[in-house]
Structure 1
Amino acid sequence: MPKLISLPTYRDGRGSLTVVEKILPFEIKRIYYIYNCADLPRGGHRHKKAIQALICLKGSCAVDWNNGQAKGTVDLNQPDQVLIVLPEDYHVMRDFTPEAVLLVISSEYFAAEDYIDEDY
């Protein structure tokens, strides 16, 4: 089941600084980001090995998930929140606002064989 975690954030007159350090349950092997999204969903898969951390740096999007026993939706709209998606979590990202930038941090390098396209 995905887990939403608040990231340590330091605010003062200069702005906000959010830190991703010693909070992810995996070693980082891949980082990518999704932006300039059309009105089409992204994702639509689960993994054999990869754990992912999703942070909406700007704007917002919805993440639908299903782990075969439970399902739900998480709205990502704060850059100081990270959603941890486990390998068994089938996930679809949708309803991106026009300015949305979704950062994805993965425990694995890209491997087509790690993807499972079928939902439960």
Structure 2
Amino acid sequence: MSHFPILKLPTFTDARGSLTVMEGALPFSVVRSYWIFGADGQTRGGHRHRHTQQALVAISGSVTIYMNDGHHIDNVLLEHPGDCLIVQPKDWHTMTFGAGSVLLVMSSHSYDRSEYIDEPYA
């Protein structure tokens, strides 16, 4: 089991398909949302934040998230659109994309480059 929290989002399935609900699921209010795609086989990220919390969902394909909070290290595989990884500001993270993957990122703060910490833990 991972030290890093993965929320199991409510997902409803019937003959017409599946629907996953985010409403009320996150421990913060979403200020910024974006998605990353076309990054097959690439690794992105490589930073942590001063204040921003993030929620990551692989809405298509699979993404492996390397996580390091300075005490715990883990590789978290996101491959189901009902799984949501919570990334705290202290969490150094990189994201490695499988073929055809789309990663949805929801952030607690707007983009501010000065909010990023580019130095990994020693």
TM-score relative to the length of structure 2: 0.94
What residue is the counterpart of 2:105 in the other structure? 104
Unaligned runs of 5+ in 2: none
Q: What number of residue pairs does the alignment pair up?
A: 119
CA deviations on 1:84-120 (whole Å, 9 max, x unpaired) are 00000000001x1221000000000000111000111
Among residues 27, 30, 45, which one is paired with 2:29 in the alignment?
27
After TM superposition, the structure 1 = structure 2 runs for residues 72-83 of structure 1, keeping only pairs within 5 Å, are 72-83=74-85
Aligned CA distance change for structure 1 residues 38 and 81 (closer, same or farther; 3 Å): closer
| CA distance in 1: counterparts of 2:55 and 2:80, whole angstroms | 14
Aligned CA distance change for structure 1 residues 50 and 114 (closer, same or farther; 3 Å): same
- Residue identity matched to 1:92: T
SS at match of 1:74: strand
What residue is the counterpart of 1:62 in the other structure? 64
How large is the Cα RMSD of the aligned pairs? Answer: 1.0
Identical residues among aligned pairs (%): 44
Unaligned runs of 5+ in 1: none
CA deviations on 1:24-76 (whole Å, 9 max, x unpaired) are 01111000000000433100000000000000000001000100011111000
| CA distance in 2: counterparts of 1:28 and 1:37, whole angstroms | 24
TM-score relative to the length of structure 1: 0.96
